[in-house]
Amino acid sequence: GAVVSQHPSRVICKSGTSVKIECRSLDFQATTMFWYRQFPKQSLMLMATSNEGSKATYEQGVEKDKFLINHASLTLSTLTVTSAHPEDSSFYICSASYSPTEAFFGQGTRLTVV
Amino acid sequence: GQNIDQPTEMTATEGAIVQINCTYQTSGFNGLFWYQQHAGEAPTFLSYNVLDGLEEKGRFSSFLSRSKGYSYLLLKELQMKDSASYLCAVRDDGGYQKVTFGTGTKLQVIP
């Protein structure tokens, strides 16, 4: 099956710094990738749709200047959390698909801002 | 917009059958997914329905009724390892075909 790799799996950063999370489709090309955030005991909330070669489409309530998304190639999308604060601590997950019948998820990144 | 509802928690006995329901009201529809998620891990794919009816895959089956905006996931011969959250997700029919998740159902399997 298709593999989506996300890196890092865990990161701890100081308040006010920025963190970059990478999402790669290892064996297929993904024109579109999705970024989700999941708080403890809650479901996945779609943050934005990452489009190769164009600007990301953000969901209502998600600050585009805080969560920078770049989809530089058909196999790589990055999410940068800028000026992170403790309330940004969460589980961030990306997904990608090459067919309409399945969406593949990365392993997730647990971000802790101290 | 998308509105997807599932029960928050369910408990079932090992070896039994459990049905997890999902209802949705969405602005567009192009398929419904079920995912399993263990605590602290990423979701794993279970099933996909785009046409009405029942899809069976081993111990797991998923049903869809598009006219009713309703789906269920049926788990048979429950095992302790089936204790997890089960997420219902709907793909819309827009240009990017976004997948939006329901609140998830936490299933606890007891001996």
pLDDT tens for A16-34 read: 999 999 999 998 888 889 9
Mutate to test the interface with A, among B4, B24, B101 (most CBs of A within 10 A): B101
What backbone torsions phi and psi does residue A89 show, to the nearest 5 degrees? -60, 125
Instruction: Tell me what the pLDDT averaged over chain B comes to.
Output: 92
Mutate to test the interface with A, among B8, B41, B49, B64 (most CBs of A within 10 A): B41
Beta-carbon separation of A46 and B101 below 8 A: yes
pLDDT of residue B88: 95
Mean pLDDT within B77-90: 96
Mean pLDDT within B61-88: 97
Mean pLDDT within A29-43: 87
| Residue whose tokens read 């788990």 | B75
Percentage, residues of chain B above pLDDT 70 = 97
Entry field: residues in chain B: 111
Instruction: Tell me the residue type at B86.
Output: Y
| Structural tokens at position B3 | 């509105």
Residue B32: count of CB within 10 angstroms of its CB: 26
Looking at the predicted structure, is the pLDDT value of residue A36 above 80? yes
Min Cα distance A14 → chain B (Å) is: 22
pLDDT of residue B95: 66
